[in-house]
Structure 1
Amino acid sequence: MIERFYLKDYLSFKEVELELKSGLVVFTGPSGSGKSILMGSILSSFGSTSCEASLCESSVAWELNGEEYGIESDDINVFKHIKKEKSRYFINNQSISKKAMSELSSNYLRHLSLRDFSDFDNENLLNIIDSRMGLKNAEIQRVKSEYKELFLEHKRVKKELLSIEDEQKKIVELKEFASYEIKKIDTINPKISEDIELLEIKKELSKKEKVLKSLSSADAIFEHEHAVFSALDLLDKDGSFFSDAMNELRALLESAQERFSMLEEIDVEEVLNRIEELGELKRRYGSIEEALIYKQEKIQELQKYENIEFTKGDLEARVKELDKQVVDLASKLSLARYSEIDSFNKELNKYLKDLYLRDALVEINESEFSAFGKDEITIKLNSTDLQKISTGEFNRLRLAILALKSETMSKDGGVLILDEIDANLSGEESMSVAKVLKQLSKHFQIFVISHQPQLTSMGDQHFLVYKEGDESLVKELDFERRVEEIARIISGESITQEARGFAKELLNLQIRE
């Protein structure tokens, strides 16, 4: 539910702060006082509409699933729309786009004044029917769950089979290509780090002559080694340091001589050609390691082509088995739904009668298999398609559907916002709408603007929107002030005692119920 709403600097409103309760929240007030503006600003705080307010802020007790948008949920989540030079949107002080905020909040808040057909979606209607059946027969939910699991597996296996059949058509070409790729890499037969070693050899070959010549000249130092030892003896100095140094130098030069002498046996042309081959391989695959990985993938691919007939046979058998299971379970669901449809029609039309609407006709037709079975639900109001009925009829029909749905709900359904659902209705019609909304308010927090005493009296919380001069104000009404406001709605600005008496009677009736 929305627990708190704050509005600052929007048209005739300077500052509004509302502490909100669960259930049915009613807003009343004279025409032009700003009720629709206030409702629009609440929607704007969730990115559902736009407004020019400096600040619209709603605090909600929703457990947000905002990972997709990078939003972390708190115990109380704050939705905020700030307008300075441009509009900015925040959830828990984390910046978010208007579109993302609207998408996230739409999971918890719905504005029923929009001509939204989602309540009449096939999935929603089937879920209502199935939930009603589930109250009488718990087995139906197990069948539904098992059917959906098998349907999705059937879809996956069928897709895999179609992919194999597709591959089969070009399998000869694919096998040739895989074999060609494997052979090409095998011909070069690269070894990991071979390219690095060859480049080092190439570097040493390029300076071989120069190094060998230098080593030959350096050998002359050893011809004078004896003379140095004699001089050290005459000076009475320990010559071990010189001996160690000369031994280390001799080992180093001999090792270098041996290494570079071995290069005599290497064919420079072969080294350069090999480097070129490996370079071509790296240009194509990125590295020797990646070339070897690619080769292994092609070997596995080739093995898969070799086994494709065997795999295809297994998949065909599995598809056939799943076909039968899916059809059987879908038929069970259909039979159960057909047995429930009359009761669904009866209960829906009971609500519609209370709402002073014509009877609706709900039918089940067979359609293509989906995750919900093979049934498609259609609704017509007195044989009229939903697209052709009036907005008032459309909204009251939606209320009836929501009321049916609420009968089997076990959790909070979120927030419903309605503008003037009872506009231009008679007293009896308004009372019927009020009763349906009162039932819905057990599962939804409902915000509604009303001009009728019947709906107003049903409110769990009542706010008056009024003007003092050019400024719009909002205040919550206690019992006595509610009596006065409902009496004003009944008789106009000149409130009569009869109107007060009727208003008090309506409120007392609501309290007793």
Structure 2
Amino acid sequence: MLTQLTIKNYALIDELHVNFNNGLSIITGETGAGKSILLGGLSLILGKRADLSAIKDASKKCIIEATFDIAKYNLKTLFVTEGLDYESLTIIRREILPSGKSRAFINDTPVNLNSLQVLGERLLDIHSQHQTLQLTNDDFQFQIIDALANNEVLLTDYTDKLKQYKGLKAELEHLHLQKAESIKELDYNLFLLKELEEAKLVAGELETLESEFETLNNVEDIKEKLTQSHRLLSHEEVGITTNLSEVKNQLGKIAGFGKQYEDMYQRVVSSLIELDDMFSEIEQLEGQLEADPNRLDAVNSKLQVIHNLMLKHTSQSIEELIEVKENLAEKVSATEHLDSDILEKEKVIIVINEQLKLKASALHSNRVKVIPDLIKQLERILGTLGMPNAKFNIELQPSEVFLTNGTDNLKFLFSANKGGQFNDLKKAASGGELSRIMLAIKSILSKYTQLPTIMFDEIDTGVSGEISNKMASIMQQMSKTMQVFTITHLPQIAAKGDTHFKVYKEDIENVTQTRLKKLMPEERIVEIAQMLGGVDVSNSAIEHAKQLLN
């Protein structure tokens, strides 16, 4: 409920601060006194775009601040979703700066207008002639029926499941597109993969193959040089090892004559050992070396394949080619697994589809059950509001697709006159009739769901007498479970309020200002008497006002 309202520097309001109570609050005042200014300020709290021309003093900022008691509204989840700090007493503030820039705050946290609108529509419902057009909206009509059918939890489950269903359908469509694209590339990828697999690539083998090729390609020359080296080392007369052995023998004879001779001797011994090893290895290499034209062709062919593949795939090494092969294998495998992925996704979609059908069917059944009672209540209330011949025909027609709230198409048909044809509500009802229908609907809804604070803006236009009494009684009944404001020109309605505020203009230092005042009991009598008989209050008007208040 709205507990406090502060308005500064807005239109004809210099500064206004007022506290509100629960129940039915009446707002009265002469035409042009500024009731629309009050509504304009509240609409800013609901997220309406600011107008710089609304600032009273263009050199100062305009501030609209409202405090709401939201303890009973179950809004903690909404606050979490919007990233706001939850407070049972929530303060909403709008500021319009002289520059024209607008700022909004919820519990001192800056917010955008969208967040303000999302929260505002849960806190305050300003009902005007224009707002009655909401009656002709399918979504609003479904809200009415679903409130009576207690479909809130079921609708949430359905909505969550529908979101999951649409997500899966989108994923399935993506898989089909992916498959179509993959099929175009599959044959080429398979060819490239087969080519790489047949090459039997081994990491690090390029250097080995290149070395083997050089050996086989130069085998005769290598063998000749090894043989010559072998002869130079081992020849009986000129061989290096033969001569070095003789040097060793000679130095051995003088090694005992001094350290320098011993060191020289040891060096020759070491060199001789190394030469013996070299001799053995040359001899082994020479023995292993044979011309092998077949192997040379095989190595050359393998090298040619590798170099061609490296050129084709712009790779610098066998390791890069192996990586290309692995990537191709993944693409081919992914393409081959797409069919199974599509099949699995289709199975899940079938299950979700059946679950949605069950939930949609339950929603439909619940709606069908409450429609007769809704029609009965609407016709009864409208009968008391001067529309005794008002008739409704509410139809639910099945849809072949899943809609946002089930599989029902709704027809909300109305006839205002006896024997008249049923027609769409927006075509069959006048503006005044729509206002009374909206009042009837709000009064019914107040029994089934926690409605936000509602402000009726001259909903009683065009009615008088007993009907105005009935309207007042309906609003009074609604105010037992919610906070209700009504702006009225009718004394019969004004007298039913728990609290009475008067909007009036006052000239201060040659400047006209709009004021809002809570009336005391005696002031209230005078105000209602003036509504009955004009500014010059008669004794009979006073007595009549007292009777209405009692």
Q: Which moved more, 1:382-391 or 1:16-25?
A: 382-391
- Answer with 1 or 2: which has the greater Rg: 2
Q: Could you tell me which amino acid in structure 1 is paired with residue 120 of structure 2?
A: S
Q: Deviations over 1:65-87 (max 9, x none)?
A: 45666644444323132342424
How is 1:36-55 mapped onto 2 (pairs within 5 angstroms)?
36-48=36-48, 50=50, 51-53=54-56, 54-55=62-63
- Equivalent pair of 2:5/2:66 in contact (CA under 8 Å): yes
Instruction: State the 1:4 CA deviation.
Output: 1.2
Q: Show structure 2 runs of 5+ residues with no match.
A: 57-61, 204-306, 416-421
Describe the shift of the 1:337–1:471 C-alpha distance in structure 2 as closer, same or farther (beyond 3 A).
closer
Q: Deviations over 1:314-337 (max 9, x none)?
A: 444444455445445534443443
- Equivalent pair of 2:146/2:152 in contact (CA under 8 Å): yes
Describe the shift of the 1:154–1:475 C-alpha distance in structure 2 as closer, same or farther (beyond 3 A).
closer
- Equivalent pair of 2:3/2:69 in contact (CA under 8 Å): yes
How is 1:235-384 mapped onto 2 (pairs within 5 angstroms)?
302-357=332-387, 358-367=390-399, 368-382=401-415, 383-384=422-423
Instruction: State the 1:452 CA deviation.
Output: 0.5
Q: Which of 483, 496, 499 lines up with 2:541 in the alignment? A: 499
Report what 2:520 is aligned to: 478
Describe the shift of the 1:156–1:499 C-alpha distance in structure 2 as closer, same or farther (beyond 3 A).
same
Report what 2:440 is aligned to: 400
- Equivalent pair of 1:490/1:499 in contact (CA under 8 Å): yes
Q: Could you tell me which amino acid in structure 2 is paired with residue 52 of structure 1?
A: I
Instruction: State the 1:306 CA deviation.
Output: 1.7
Q: Deviations over 1:442-489 (max 9, x none)?
A: 444333211001221222221112233333322101222212211111
How is 1:139-154 mapped onto 2 (pairs within 5 angstroms)?
151-154=162-165
Q: Which moved more, 1:395-404 or 1:446-455?
A: 395-404
Aligned-residue identity in percent: 25
Q: Which of 462, 476, 489 lines up with 1:451 in the alignment? A: 489
- Equivalent pair of 1:352/1:359 in contact (CA under 8 Å): no
| 1:436 aligns to 2:452 (yes or no) | no
For the residue of structure 2 that corresponds to 1:307, the secondary structure is helix
Describe the shift of the 1:304–1:36 C-alpha distance in structure 2 as closer, same or farther (beyond 3 A).
same
CA distance, structure 2, for counterparts of residue 170 and residue 28 of structure 1:
70
- Equivalent pair of 2:132/2:434 in contact (CA under 8 Å): no
Report what 1:252 is aligned to: none
For the residue of structure 2 that corresponds to 1:31, the secondary structure is coil
Report what 2:98 is aligned to: 84
Q: Show structure 1 runs of 5+ residues with no match.
A: 135-139, 192-272, 283-287, 509-513
CA distance, structure 2, for counterparts of residue 73 and residue 332 of structure 1:
34
Describe the shift of the 1:36–1:393 C-alpha distance in structure 2 as closer, same or farther (beyond 3 A).
same
Q: Could you tell me which amino acid in structure 2 is paired with residue 507 of structure 1?
A: L
Q: Which of 424, 427, 433 lines up with 1:385 in the alignment? A: 424
Q: Which moved more, 1:322-331 or 1:445-454?
A: 322-331
Q: Deviations over 1:84-109 (max 9, x none)?
A: 24243231444444555345423322
How is 1:115-134 mapped onto 2 (pairs within 5 angstroms)?
115=131, 117-118=133-134, 121-134=137-150
CA distance, structure 2, for counterparts of residue 303 and residue 414 of structure 1:
58
CA distance, structure 1, for counterparts of residue 332 and residue 493 of structure 2:
73
CA distance, structure 2, for counterparts of residue 499 and residue 69 of structure 1:
53
How is 1:93-132 mapped onto 2 (pairs within 5 angstroms)?
93-98=108-113, 100-113=115-128, 114-115=130-131, 117-118=133-134, 121-132=137-148
Q: Could you tell me which amino acid in structure 2 is paired with residue 110 of structure 1?
A: D
For the residue of structure 1 that corresponds to 2:460, the secondary structure is coil
For the residue of structure 1 that corresponds to 2:386, the secondary structure is coil
CA distance, structure 1, for counterparts of residue 44 and residue 164 of structure 2:
42
Instruction: State the 1:371 CA deviation.
Output: 4.6
- Give the CA RMSD over aligned residues: 4.1
CA distance, structure 1, for counterparts of residue 79 and residue 170 of structure 2:
32
Describe the shift of the 1:313–1:462 C-alpha distance in structure 2 as closer, same or farther (beyond 3 A).
same
TM-score normalised by the chain length of structure 1: 0.67
Give the number of equivalent residue pairs: 409
